[in-house]
């Protein structure tokens, strides 16, 4: 037991004394949350607007130019048929659409209520309502101007919030970010710290000692589990305080699932280090083998549902995919284990298989 | 007789694919002896040593280290041996004292033992002033001496040194050998690999490995007499020539 404690203390010293890496570990999650958080906020500044104008006329063109002049909107498409909207929203090309009634200009000229429809992509509720409020304000401004010349003129907007299932919560970045940060800390750092010991030859000294392989592994990776755990808590707190990201489900469950995912990532890191002998190669291996799949195939940035079939199948073996799903469900939908047991079991199975494989790969080095 | 033998091997062999790195070597090392393992790079000395310390499983043959079988009792061997490799094995971002504590803990010493032995070790090396310095700040020669002393911290019966003096200046090498003699005088068996032929003269007995086999074995003076050479260096060159070594195998 003292031997293991000594190892843990040593690894903690390694982490605390490598000031540059420590700074990266601490600042990375903080910065990522801010970068991703504000990246989403700037979306409100460049709202992708689609226009459906069946009968372009002086009146519709005037309102359209109001939108362009507002500076917040950039027109991505002008269509004459409403059917075109579906594809635009599905692809995410448009966030907002104005659909003019075919009689818009005529009604306006005759003093009748002129109708139009405002369609908003409300996948991300905060952005959606902000965008919709902007658009309404532009319309109201135009209406007021018309009324100053011809009192009694009315524009009646019909508001539609559109919830697109294929882009479900894709803008809520925190769960994906958690997976990404945990992958960096657990897989990358573990792989590097293990290969460093191989490179300097200190691993041999440990292997020759009476330490059991599991003690060496625990001594090496437990401190990174702790670091990963602290990062997750930090990201959740920051996302909550700074960006009001909801946490509707159980915090305990979310943290437990995070630990499970950390275990999976740590095992991947051990596996990478078992196959490599230099820190450089280990870093590349961990990036290609764990970080890229986590970025690209977990649904963090690109929704899985819109991937080609082949990639959807491949994404099944990416642990982050399951973790991102679980974390999103807990945070955004507030569901519990009764809905997530299948994904949790998958993560557990992955942890079990990878831990066994990585412990074995450690043994193999002795052969 | 067995009680007096620290290491005994019989036809110890290690094959990597089609390449036989160690080819049926048989030798004994007596307790308290300083035994030198010589050979060119790739001659198989490090492979042989790694089999003895449990880092590598032998393909065939048998070996006992400190009375334990390398195949079946490798865990028991680990408590009885110390090891220092040619590559530096202390942690550079830990202080001298922290390194000693770490290895003391790994080998199951009590805190009191660690404290006492740390002080003794620092005093013997004259490192009292450097106890709280980071190892990376120490000159290479100091590090090697420290690494050797740490390998002896748990008072192993046998210490294995894999080219411990490569890259070290001649004066430090001398000092290093004084430490080796001290350990041997205290009853520790020393098995050392080296490719410095002058160091062979310091050993009680040496074995010269050529292409995986033992080309010659005995005390340095016996060997020189037997082969009619002036120095071990000359003897080594004679042995390393394929036509005289008898085992004219190509390396992979």
CA distance, residue B238 to nearest chain A CA (Å): 33
Please indicate whether, in this complex, the C-beta atoms of B105 and A5 are within 8 angstroms of each other: yes
Span A20-59, pLDDT tens digits: 888 888 888 888 777 776 665 545 677 889 999 998 888 8
Which positions in chain A touch B92 (Cβ < 8 Å)? 200
Report ipTM for this prediction: 0.86
3-state helix, strand, coil in chain B (%, to 5): 40, 25, 35
Q: Which residues pair with B28 in a beta bridge?
A: B8
Do B194 and B208 touch, CB atoms closer than 8 A? no
Under 8 Å CB pairs connecting chains A and B tally to 77
CB proximity A152 to B under 8 Å? no
Question: Which chain A residues touch B100 with a CB distance below 8 Å?
Answer: none
Give the pLDDT mean for A345-361: 91
Average pLDDT over residues A96-113: 89
Give the B-side interface with A, CB within 8 Å: 53-57, 75, 78-79, 81, 83-94, 98, 101-108, 111
The reported pLDDT for the residue numbered B172 is 87
List Cβ<8 Å contacts ≥24 apart for A9-12: A9/B102, A10/A219, A10/B91, A10/B94, A10/B98, A10/B102, A11/A193, A11/A219, A11/A220, A11/A222, A11/A223, A12/A223
Query: What is the predicted pLDDT for the residue at A126?
Result: 64
pLDDT tens sequence across A118-153: 998 776 666 777 788 888 989 998 888 888 888 888
Local confidence band at A336 (pLDDT 50, 70, 90 cut-offs)? confident
d(CA A66, CA A60): 10
Tokens representing A297?
């195939």
Do the chains contact at A18 and B92, CB–CB below 8 Å? no
**Joined tokens for residue B13:** 């062999």
* pLDDT above 70 (res A204): yes
Identify from B17, B65, B89, B144 which residue to disrupt to test chain A contact, counting A C-beta atoms within 10 A and taking the largest count.
B89
Strand partners, B37: B193, B207
Which residue in A1, A7, A202 has the most chain B C-beta atoms within 10 A of its own C-beta, making it the best mutation to test that interface?
A202
pLDDT tens by residue, A268-300: 999 888 888 888 888 888 888 888 888 888 877
Residue B251's pLDDT is: 41
Residue of B nearest to A7 (CA): B102
H runs (alpha helix) in chain A: 2-17, 19-41, 58-69, 84-91, 104-109, 125-149, 174-183, 189-200, 202-208, 213-243, 251-275, 279-286, 292-296, 309-315, 319-328, 337-364
Would the CB atoms of B105 and A209 count as touching at under 8 Å?
Answer: no
Distance from CA of A298 to the nearest CA of B (A): 37
Tell which A residues from 190 to 249 touch B, by Cβ distance under 8 Å.
Answer: 200-202, 204-211
Q: How far apart are CA B43 and CA B47, in angstroms?
A: 9
Q: Report whether pLDDT(A229) > 60.
A: yes
pLDDT value for B247? 42
Which of A10, A195, A218 should one mutate to test binding to chain B, selecting the residue with the greatest count of B CBs within 10 A?
Answer: A10
pLDDT per residue as tens digits for the range A207-218: 899 998 888 889
pLDDT given for residue B190 in this prediction: 96
Rounded Cα distance, A297 and A317, in Å? 10
Predicted local confidence at residue B25, as pLDDT: 94
Nearest-CA residue of chain B relative to A213?
Answer: B75
Q: Which residues of A160-176 are buried (b: 16+ CB within 10 A; e: fewer)?
A: eebeeeebbbbbbbbbb
The minimum CA-CA distance between B204 and chain A, rounded to whole Å, is 25
Tell which wins on pLDDT, A36 or A193: A193
The answer to whether B94 contacts A207, with C-beta atoms less than 8 Å apart, is no
Q: pLDDT confidence of A170, banded at 50, 70, 90?
A: very low
Q: What confidence score (pLDDT) does residue A365 get?
A: 54
pLDDT for res B244: 45
- Mutate which of B71, B85, B106 to test chain A, going by most A C-beta atoms within 10 A? B106
Euclidean distance between CA atoms B194 and A139, whole angstroms: 87
Taking CA–CA distances from B106, the nearest residue in chain A reads A3
Tell me whether residues B83 and A7 touch, CB distance under 8 A. no
> A250 falls in which pLDDT band (50, 70, 90)?
very high
For residue A240, give Cα distances in angstroms to A234, A237, A244.
Answer: 10, 5, 5
- The pLDDT of residue A233 is 92
Q: What is the mean pLDDT of chain A?
A: 84
Contact A53, A100 (CB under 8 A): yes
Q: Which residues of chain B have pLDDT under 70?
A: 1-3, 242-252
Task: Spell out which residues of chain B touch residue A206, defining contact as CB-CB under 8 Å.
Answer: 106
Cβ of residue A364 closer than 8 Å to a chain B Cβ? no
Cα atoms found within 13 Å of the Cα of residue A189, Cβ hemisphere only: 27
How close A217 gets to chain B, by Cα (Å)?
A: 14
Structural domains in chain A, CATH included, are 47-162 (3.40.1710.10), 169-366 (no CATH)
- Taking CB atoms and an 8 Å limit, are A7 and B92 in contact across chains? no
Q: Is it the case that residue A367 has pLDDT exceeding 60?
A: no
DSSP classification of residue B35: E
For residue A245, the model assigns a pLDDT of: 75
Report CB contact under 8 Å: B89, A201.
yes
Question: Are A7 and B90 in contact (CB < 8 Å)?
Answer: no
């Amino acid at each position: 037991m003292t031997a293991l404690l000594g190892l843990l203390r040593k690894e903690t010293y390694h982490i605390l004394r490598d000031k540059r890496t420590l700074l990266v570990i601490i600042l990375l999650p903080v910065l990522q949350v801010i970068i991703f958080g504000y990246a989403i906020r700037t979306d409100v500044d460049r709202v992708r607007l689609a226009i459906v104008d069946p009968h372009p006329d002086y009146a519709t063109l005037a309102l359209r130019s109001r939108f362009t002049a507002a500076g917040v909107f950039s027109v991505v498409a002008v269509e004459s048929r409403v059917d075109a909207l579906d594809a635009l929203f599905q692809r995410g090309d448009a966030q907002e659409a104005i659909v003019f009634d075919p009689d818009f200009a005529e009604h306006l000229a005759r003093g009748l209520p002129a109708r139009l429809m405002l369609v908003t992509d409300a996948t991300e509720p905060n952005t959606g309502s902000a965008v919709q409020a902007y658009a309404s304000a532009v319309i109201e401004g135009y209406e007021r101007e018309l009324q100053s010349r011809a009192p009694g003129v009315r524009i009646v907007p019909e508001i539609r919030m559109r919830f697109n299932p294929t882009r479900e919560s894709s803008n809520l970045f925190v769960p994906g970010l958690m997976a990404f940060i945990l992958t960096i800390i657990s897989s990358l750092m573990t792989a590097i710290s293990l290969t460093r010991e191989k490179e300097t030859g200190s691993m041999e000294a440990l292997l020759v000692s009476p330490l059991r392989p599991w003690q060496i592994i625990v001594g090496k990776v437990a401190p990174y589990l702790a670091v990963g755990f602290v990062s997750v808590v930090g990201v959740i707190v920051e996302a909550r305080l700074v960006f009001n990201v909801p946490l509707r489900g159980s915090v305990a469950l979310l943290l437990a699932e995070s630990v499970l995912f950390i275990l999976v990532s740590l095992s991947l890191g051990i596996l990478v280090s078992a196959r490599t002998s230099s820190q450089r190669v280990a870093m590349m291996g961990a990036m290609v083998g764990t970080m890229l799949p986590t970025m690209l195939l977990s649904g963090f940035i690109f929704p899985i549902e819109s991937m080609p079939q082949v990639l959807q199948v491949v994404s099944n073996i990416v642990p982050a995919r399951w973790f991102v799903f679980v974390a999103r469900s807990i945070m955004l939908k507030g569901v519990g284990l009764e809905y997530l047991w299948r994904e949790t079991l998958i993560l557990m199975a992955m942890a079990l298989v990878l831990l066994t494989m990585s412990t074995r790969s450690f043994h193999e080095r002795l052969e | 007789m067995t009680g007096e033998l620290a290491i005994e091997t019989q036809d110890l062999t290690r094959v990597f694919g089609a390449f036989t790195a160690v080819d049926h070597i048989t030798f004994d090392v007596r307790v308290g002896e300083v035994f030198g393992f010589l050979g060119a790079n790739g001659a198989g000395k490090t492979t042989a040593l790694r089999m003895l310390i449990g880092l590598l499983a032998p393909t065939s043959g048998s070996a006992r280290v400190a009375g334990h079988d390398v195949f079946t009792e490798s865990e028991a061997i680990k408590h009885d041996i110390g090891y220092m490799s040619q590559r530096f094995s202390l942690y550079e971002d830990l202080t001298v004292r922290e390194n000693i504590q770490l290895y003391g803990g790994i080998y199951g010493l009590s805190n009191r033992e660690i404290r006492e032995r740390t002080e003794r070790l620092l005093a013997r090396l004259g490192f009292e002033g450097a106890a709280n310095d980071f190892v990376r700040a120490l000159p290479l020669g100091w590090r090697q001496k420290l690494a050797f002393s740490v390998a002896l911290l748990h008072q192993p019966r046998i210490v294995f040194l894999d080219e411990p003096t490569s890259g070290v200046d001649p004066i430090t090498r001398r000092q290093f050998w004084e430490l080796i003699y001290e350990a041997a005088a205290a009853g520790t068996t020393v098995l050392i690999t080296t490719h410095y032929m002058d160091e062979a003269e310091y050993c009680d007995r040496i074995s010269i490995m050529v292409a995986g086999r033992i080309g010659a074995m005995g005390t340095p003076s016996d060997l020189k007499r037997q082969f009619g050479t002036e120095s071990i260096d000359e003897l080594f060159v004679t042995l390393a020539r394929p036509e005289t070594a008898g085992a004219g195998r190509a390396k992979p």
